[in-house]
Structure 1
Amino acid sequence: MKRSKQILEGLHNQYYRATYKSMGFSTDDLKRPIIGIANAWSECVPGHFNLRQVAQRVKDGIYRAGGTPVEFGTIGGCDGFAQGHDGMHYILPSRELIADSVESMAQINLFDGLVLLGSCDKIVPGMLMAAARLDIPCILLPGGPMEGGIVFDGRKSDQTSSAEALGMLSANKITEDEYTLLENLSCPTCGSCSYLGTANTMCSLSEALGMTLPDGGVIPAYSAARLAIAEGTGIKIMELVEKNITARQIITKGSIRNAIKVCLAMSGSTNAVMHLTAIANEAEVGMDVLQEFDELSRKTPQLAKINPASEYNMIDFYQAGGVSKLLEEMHSLMDTGVMTVTARTVMENIQAHKYQYPGNENIIKSIDSPFGYEGGVAVLRGNLAPDTGITKPGAFDKSLRHFKGTAICFNSEEAAEEAILAGKVHDGHVVVIRYEGPKGGPGMREMFKAMKYLYGRGLAKTTALVTDGRFSGTNNGCFVGHISPEAAEGGPIAIVENGDTIEIDVEKRSLDLLVSEEEIQKRLKKWQRPEPKFKRGYLGLYCKLASSGSKGAVLNYDKI
């Protein structure tokens, strides 16, 4: 039965029909299935700037297929705007707000189905979490990636190039004129970032999950094909409603494993580990996503290399075949019988797919000739990360897969960045940035600038960075993030001291503080829990309820 029938049919429901009619809906409109369109459009996020036009084409498709579209707005913050200041505290917590707001609107209005429009880092997972929670017919449609900018340092630039350039400027490697040029030419179009950051990772994984139409995650933002697939999405949601194919029939253990394998094969953002954990939690599939990443990373080949792992951007990846090509190459490793939003299985989608451009083995390799025989994301454990830490070996030089260095410790992102730019970090240092986890940050800020500054100062291959915070998908170099337990919860990262030796061994999947267990316990006994940085407002609540990065940083309502 249509959900909307509960409020739109029968004499006793005149109130609801009259309310809709006050906004111009007709009697005929209200007899059709009511499809909500959750649109994260704003002038704050380049990845969402084209979603007004995309939404209109979705509406066209819905109406054409016999439904009535009802659009509403959701928030969406850009990680780029939040970098390096207090705004970053809000970015990860905004994921929960997005999920809650979509759930609320869908339940208030009893929509029969949902089309979710969002492209960026926390918006895509937040919307997928809502879909899994609601378990009604849903399709997610991103706005598509932007084009790369002027060539800088050997590859097309993007907005993150300015952070690398600032490090180069501080080391007198480039001129001020070269630095300034990037401001006008690094972002030539709207769209989610041109590289494989968290935004484009999650858009790609939405495809791999089966929650986005084939190619829907990677078609360029400015392409006519983006508008065409928007109309197709509107038509397809009506088929899902008619057949009652709901989100939890698509988001299953099998589809989540498929998404993990695609993430590993394309060396996606480390943030995907946390987001897939949160989505699995909402879908109630009873799955240890971290354990799956750990096991699958050892036997999933790396088939794609995209910036920051190569000079090729997301649009190059799309033209090389995109996620569809990865699924085709990996079909023997995938659960190809799972349902998708096409109302067909993964295998049926693979068999029906038509490629618009020739392949490019510099970007996507065949499974018989991969870039590497292990995945591009790895889960580490050890006495410095008892519950886990996450790294991305697919994005850094193989020489860094075993790194032993001397700790230099900072209790905030800002302190570390200031020291790096001032030349206080040297070859052989392991930069430790703590109290940046879900509770301690709060909000698990990205150590994006710190890594970029190390790169700009020529330290990318001679230093490492470990943190209980996160990283941007564009970061490269030897890093381990999401260290759990975090410092604010008394994790061992809290008691590392300057001069300690830290060993990172990706092959052994280990992260260790080379200090005796007796000394570690002695330091932990002296440690005192810090006061929360925020005591009021949403972040005050988040500080109290956030779970660890290893649990997806979801809100733990059992603590209320």
Structure 2
Amino acid sequence: MSDERQQDPRRRYSSPVVDGVGKSASRAMLRAVGFTDSDFTKPQVGIASTWSQVTPCNSHIDGLAEEARDGADDAGGKGVIFNTITISDGIANGTEGMKYSLVSREVIADSIETVAGCEGFDGLVAIGGCDKNMPGCMMGLARLDRPSVFVYGGTILPGKGHTDIVSVFEAMGAHSRGDLDLIELKQIEETAIPGPGSCGGMYTANTMASAIEALGMSLPGSSAQNAVSQAKRDDCRAAGAAVLELLEHDIKPSDIMTREAFENAITVVIALGGSTNAVLHLVAMANTIGVPLSIEEFTRIGKRVPVVADLRPSGHYMMSELVEIGGIQPLMKTLLDAGLLHGDCLTVTGRTLAENLAGVAPYPEGQKIIAPLDAPHKAESHLRILYGNLAPEGAVAKITGKEGTRFTGSARVFGSEEEAQARINDGTVVAGDVIVIRYEGPKGGPGMREMLTPTSAIMGRGLGSEVALITDGRFSGGSHGFVVGHITPEAFDGGPIALVQDGDKITIDAEADTIDVHISDEELMRRRAAWRQPEPRYTRGVLSKYAKTVSSASTGAVTDMPDRA
């Protein structure tokens, strides 16, 4: 392999077997894993599988990877399955282990780049099913820039009584308040997760699946299929075949993941009432493919795109119910017809978005999940980018309007999620408080933990409209209430959130898009002069490496910024 190829993982080239580099050794190795003579002349399609038993989101993906491999084989290629890691946010939330969650996105991107770059796959299918492995897969595909298709593993079905994973977290809060006995809590725990698939509301997994389909990197319909279904198996098989078509026409992620395509993804996320994590991940994905995309784009686009979906966590319905009425394709057709999507964007079908949507039928009459554009649940975006003396580089709020649009309260400051959780549970946190959880940012945590456990405890204790929570960490797609995350600069870098003291008045205004602490500039300067950066919490291992290389949340919290050493 030439030096040029080694230096540029994006360069498209045939595998070492086809190139003749190490030909005999390569053939010998591959015969042992099932290659025959005829396979050595076929394009190799790497199938990146995120299968794992650590989470139901990914427990079925081994079978889906086999479908994708068979689809590539049937289309004249040679599919080769390889694995990458995944972690479970739902299991790790509220623990020290959650610090590895966002880190895993970078590890996944690194591992897909590493395997495909080494093995020389001509094209790729990546199958993801949970919050971080999906953008991680996309970032790996973007780095390599070889003909590729992303496949979503699919959504879970509702649990007994229309429950899901967030029902369990909120039941824990209700139990701590005394409103739910232990038997009732156990019944919810035993029945809320009925089988494989990603968390059932418009949480981060379903948000990112929808965004990736709108981006053009998944086949039409991929984001809205049940995990255990013939439709999902067919989707995987079709994705394997689609890579061969992309290879034939030399269509790469950089041809699809354009500025306009990212605007389409943002538009769909807003219309669906999607997760705050979409801001972090879409900015990171754009950064990786080389498309300038700032968090400000969510404000600009959000002024003209309404929230029309009545989906959990703030709404009533689950993704499986949206699947039943047609998924997101009819919504995208409606948005396109209203001039809110760029129809000329290329997709992995080899056709434009408008061409893909041309024959899509509208939602059935009488459905209540997706409102008309002229009668939305919220006229502007629920994702608000806030600035002020607490967040001079920006923060991300998820304000549906149900919790109000303005909150002023007294700061109750905690140096970690665990501290805050203990004080919520014991009743220390009361109505009128603004909970401040700091030193949980990308560097300070490290890892930018989700605050699903404290936000669920707040909701479970009936304080959802009476307490706000702000943090330099982030939130689960299942979080709701008056919450603001991604505050930058983060506390570990000496951001103003590090200087807040108990009792300071804080105002969050989601109409003016501001977040401020009511103290003078002089007092902030005095506190800043007295502040000292804490020692890193980790000095060896992956968390230490991550803290040393990660960028700000406002740039996607990536670890391979071009200007970094």
The two structures have a TM-score, normalised by structure 1, of 0.96
Structure 1 residues 495 and 9, CA gap change in structure 2 (3 angstroms): closer
Corresponding residue SS for 1:484: coil
Q: Give the residue type in structure 1 aligned to 2:185.
A: Y
Quote the offset at 1:556 in angstroms: 5.0
| Contact 2:125-2:148 at 8 Å conserved across structures | yes
Q: Paired residue for 2:417?
A: 413
Structure 1 residues 11 and 408, CA gap change in structure 2 (3 angstroms): closer
Q: Paired residue for 2:3?
A: none
For 1:25, which of 14, 29, 35 is the aligned residue?
35
For 1:477, which of 476, 481, 484 is the aligned residue?
481
For residues 343-390 of structure 1, give each alpha carbon's deviation from its aligned partner in whole angstroms, at most 9, with x where no partner exists.
Answer: 1110001113367x7365421122233222101211010000110110
| Contact 1:102-1:127 at 8 Å conserved across structures | yes
Structure 1 residues 102 and 48, CA gap change in structure 2 (3 angstroms): same
Q: Paired residue for 1:119?
A: 129
Q: Give the residue type in structure 2 aligned to 1:17.
A: R
Q: Paired residue for 1:435?
A: 439
For 2:120, which of 110, 131, 151 is the aligned residue?
110
Corresponding residue SS for 1:124: helix
Q: Distance in 2 between matches of 1:413 and 1:318?
A: 35
Quote the offset at 1:251 in angstroms: 0.6
Corresponding residue SS for 1:367: coil
Q: Give the residue type in structure 1 aligned to 2:359.
A: A
Q: Paired residue for 2:13?
A: 3
For 2:316, which of 303, 311, 314 is the aligned residue?
311
| Contact 1:320-1:364 at 8 Å conserved across structures | no
Quote the offset at 1:134 in angstroms: 0.9
Q: Distance in 2 between matches of 1:273 and 1:446?
A: 14
For 1:328, which of 333, 355, 374 is the aligned residue?
333
Q: Distance in 1 between matches of 2:516 and 2:527?
A: 16
For 1:449, which of 453, 465, 480 is the aligned residue?
453
For 1:531, which of 495, 514, 535 is the aligned residue?
535
Q: Distance in 1 between matches of 2:431 and 2:151?
A: 44
Structure 1 residues 150 and 10, CA gap change in structure 2 (3 angstroms): closer
Quote the offset at 1:283 in angstroms: 0.7
* Matched ranges for 1:109-508 at <5 A: 109-151=119-161, 156-285=162-291, 287-331=292-336, 332-353=339-360, 358=364, 361-394=367-400, 397-398=402-403, 400-508=404-512
Corresponding residue SS for 1:430: strand
Quote the offset at 1:60 in angstroms: 1.8
The CA RMSD measured in Å over matched residues stands at 1.6
Q: Distance in 1 between matches of 2:553 and 2:281?
A: 10
Q: Distance in 2 between matches of 1:203 and 1:90?
A: 22
For residues 382-437 of structure 1, give each alpha carbon's deviation from its aligned partner in whole angstroms, at most 9, with x where no partner exists.
Answer: 0001101101112x515x21111111000000000000000001110000000000
Corresponding residue SS for 1:275: helix
Corresponding residue SS for 2:395: strand
Structure 1 residues 486 and 2, CA gap change in structure 2 (3 angstroms): closer
Q: Distance in 2 between matches of 1:167 and 1:22?
A: 54
Structure 1 residues 170 and 200, CA gap change in structure 2 (3 angstroms): same
Corresponding residue SS for 1:194: coil
Quote the offset at 1:266 in angstroms: 1.0
Q: Give the residue type in structure 1 aligned to 2:317.
A: Y
Structure 1 residues 503 and 308, CA gap change in structure 2 (3 angstroms): same
Q: Give the residue type in structure 1 aligned to 2:261.
A: S
| Contact 2:151-2:218 at 8 Å conserved across structures | yes
Q: Distance in 2 between matches of 1:9 and 1:440?
A: 46
Quote the offset at 1:270 in angstroms: 0.4
Q: Distance in 2 between matches of 1:480 and 1:211?
A: 30
Quote the offset at 1:175 in angstroms: 1.6
Quote the offset at 1:11 in angstroms: 8.9
| Contact 1:58-1:233 at 8 Å conserved across structures | yes
Quote the offset at 1:15 in angstroms: 2.3
Corresponding residue SS for 1:474: coil
Q: Distance in 1 between matches of 2:340 and 2:352?
A: 15
Stretch of structure 1 that moved more, 115-124 or 323-332: 323-332
Q: Percent identity?
A: 41
Q: Give the residue type in structure 2 aligned to 1:375.
A: S
Q: Distance in 1 between matches of 2:39 and 2:310?
A: 47
The two structures have a TM-score, normalised by structure 2, of 0.95
Q: Give the residue type in structure 2 aligned to 1:197.
A: Y
Q: Paired residue for 1:54?
A: 64
Q: Distance in 2 between matches of 1:370 and 1:106?
A: 44
Q: Paired residue for 1:44?
A: 54
Structure 1 residues 423 and 112, CA gap change in structure 2 (3 angstroms): same
Stretch of structure 1 that moved more, 233-242 or 156-165: 156-165
Q: Give the residue type in structure 2 aligned to 1:294.
A: T
For residues 48-78 of structure 1, give each alpha carbon's deviation from its aligned partner in whole angstroms, at most 9, with x where no partner exists.
Answer: 1111111121122111111100000000111
For residues 295-322 of structure 1, give each alpha carbon's deviation from its aligned partner in whole angstroms, at most 9, with x where no partner exists.
Answer: 1111111121211121100111222332
Q: Which runs of 5+ in 1 are unaligned?
A: none
For residues 156-198 of structure 1, give each alpha carbon's deviation from its aligned partner in whole angstroms, at most 9, with x where no partner exists.
Answer: 2112222211211121112221111012111112100111111
Structure 1 residues 350 and 548, CA gap change in structure 2 (3 angstroms): same
Quote the offset at 1:555 in angstroms: 1.3
| Contact 1:96-1:554 at 8 Å conserved across structures | yes
Q: Paired residue for 2:5?
A: none
Q: Distance in 1 between matches of 2:355 and 2:365?
A: 21
Q: Distance in 2 between matches of 1:354 and 1:295?
A: 29
Q: Distance in 2 between matches of 1:235 and 1:427?
A: 56
Q: Distance in 1 between matches of 2:55 and 2:340?
A: 36
Q: Paired residue for 1:94?
A: 104
| Contact 1:273-1:289 at 8 Å conserved across structures | no
Corresponding residue SS for 2:165: coil
Stretch of structure 1 that moved more, 375-384 or 8-17: 8-17
For residues 261-300 of structure 1, give each alpha carbon's deviation from its aligned partner in whole angstroms, at most 9, with x where no partner exists.
Answer: 1111111110110111110111112x23301112111111
Corresponding residue SS for 2:309: coil
Q: Which runs of 5+ in 2 are unaligned?
A: 1-10
Q: Distance in 2 between matches of 1:11 and 1:387?
A: 49
Q: Distance in 2 between matches of 1:397 and 1:109?
A: 51
